[in-house]
Amino acid sequence: MPMPVNAAVLTKPGQSLELRPVLLDDPLETEVTVRTVAAGLCHSDLHYLDGSLDMDLPAILGHEVFGIVERIGDAVTRLKIGDRVVATVTPACGVCNQCLAGRPTQCRRVDEMRARSRPKFTTTDGEPIGALGGIGAFAEAFVTGESSLALVDDAVPANVACLLGCCITTGVGAAVHGAHIGAEDTVVVIGCGGVGIAAVQGARLAGARKIVAVDALSPKLDLARRFGATHTVLAQADQEETLALLREIEPDGFTNTIEAVGRTTTAELAFDALAPSGTATILGLMTGGSRINISADALVYGDRRIQGAYMGANRFLSDVEMFTDHYAAGRLDLDGMVTRTIPFTWINEGFAAMSDPTTIRVVVEFEGENA
């Protein structure tokens, strides 16, 4: 029997989310109903909200989320009612060639795993409503596959646990899994939003000897230093000037760069800042059809590499435990990344607050487990 829940629905790009009641379907055999407790406001959500990225509407955004298991399908074996969980948009089947090769974010069966015979959300009149990433976390409850959920230890508070689903997974994952950063490396992180700050922390955890944060806003650079950046560079309008500032720190270039903005120009800067044999890892989502221009000579003669690391090339089910251990030991600062916690009904104000350069993550809280 469909369950009534309140949700923030996107009906038209560029407009505020509409808070209204919707109907949530029962979980299918391998699915789980999760009562939402806390959800982070991610720039990916903002890109759909402002129309930078396209999706079918109406839809419920939200994917960086922590909640409590409320119902389980008949074939669910790993989770039980009452479990504390975080969700990912990159479920993995575990048996396709990509999963078996250790690349679960490139699972070949992800569309098959998300497919279902009826919509998860509908209007009260029965019209379908989409769910971003197969989740739709900006609702009091959501339904998703068991493979999209990881258990979270009681030691991690709700309002920071939600960051494990996207921000931390992507930024720290990019450093650890995507770029394979180590103690010999010199690293540039371009863009100091939530994912960029997480990448700075990931580079620090991995032992990088230099970590340079680049952003166009000086308050963002102050934040980056708090989380482990050894150097900062204020991005200039002329990209060559920014590159010159980076060369003052490391004249021969850097072994690794991580782009966390989502623009072709910053992706090109990430490549141009590399030393020979260096690797640029691109995280930022860009509009469809975007093209990146790089030097063929630098690529071929310098053995430089440019790569994607979708969602940080994460290994979600095991990564959450790793992140939790680092958090418990004080090596991974999650608490400091939550700049503001607000009620779910203030979600549109939360998106507006993301333009503040001192904001890392705004988290909306629902009724439920105390944060």
Residues 176 and 160 in one domain: no
Give percent above pLDDT 70 in the chain: 99
Residues 145 and 227 in one domain: no
pLDDT digits (tens, 9 = 90+) for 118-163: 999 999 999 999 999 999 999 999 999 999 999 999 999 999 999 9
Distance between CA atoms of residues 71 and 365, nearest Å: 21
Whether the CB-CB separation of 166 and 42 falls below 8 Å is answered with yes
Residues 244 and 355 in one domain: no
Question: Angle CA(249)–CA(253)–CA(258) in degrees, nearest 5?
Answer: 95
The maximal CA–CA distance of the chain, rounded, in angstroms, is 64
Q: How confident is the model at residue 115 (pLDDT cuts 50, 70, 90)?
A: confident
SS3 at position 190: strand
Residues 69 and 25 in one domain: yes
Average pLDDT over residues 74-80: 96
Structure tokens at 328: 């418990």
Number of domains in the chain: 2
pLDDT digits (tens, 9 = 90+) for 184-206: 999 999 999 999 999 999 999 99
Whether the CB-CB separation of 151 and 324 falls below 8 Å is answered with no
pTM, full prediction: 0.93
Q: How many CB atoms lie within 10 A of CB 109?
A: 17
pLDDT digits (tens, 9 = 90+) for 319-348: 999 999 999 999 999 999 999 999 999 999
| pLDDT attached to residue 370 | 46
Tokens 């982070």 label which residue?
A: 40
Residue 320 lies in a domain: no
Structure tokens at 130: 């989409």
Residue 145's beta-bridge partner residues?
Answer: 31
Average pLDDT over residues 257-285: 96
| pLDDT attached to residue 371 | 42
Residue 324 lies in a domain: no
Distance between CA atoms of residues 193 and 355, nearest Å: 10
Average pLDDT, the chain: 95
Identity of the residue numbered 1: M
Torsion angles phi and psi, residue 233, rounded to 5: -135, 125
Residue 157: which CATH number? 3.90.180.10
SS3 at position 206: helix
Question: Angle CA(10)–CA(14)–CA(19) in degrees, nearest 5?
Answer: 35
Residues 76 and 192 in one domain: no
Residue 321 lies in a domain: no
pLDDT digits (tens, 9 = 90+) for 9-31: 999 999 999 999 999 999 999 99
| pLDDT attached to residue 368 | 55
Identity of the residue numbered 162: C
Domain encompassing residue 151: 3-165+333-365
Residues 57 and 70 in one domain: yes
Residues 175 and 31 in one domain: no
Element (H, E) at 184: none
Residues 93 and 117 in one domain: yes
Identity of the residue numbered 368: G
Residues 125 and 220 in one domain: no
Tokens 């990344």 label which residue?
A: 337
pLDDT digits (tens, 9 = 90+) for 224-264: 999 999 999 999 999 999 999 999 999 999 999 999 999 99
Report how far apart, in Å, the C-alpha atoms of 268 and of each of 146, 184, 233 are. Answer: 38, 24, 16
Residue 258: which CATH number? 3.40.50.720
Instruction: Based on DSSP, count helices (H) and strands (E) in the chain, helices before strands.
Output: 12, 18
Element (H, E) at 46: helix 43-49
pLDDT digits (tens, 9 = 90+) for 46-65: 999 998 888 999 999 999 99
Closest CA to 235 of 357, 78, 101: 357
Distance between CA atoms of residues 8 and 243, nearest Å: 42
| pLDDT attached to residue 192 | 96
Whether the CB-CB separation of 35 and 173 falls below 8 Å is answered with no
Structure tokens at 275: 């030393």
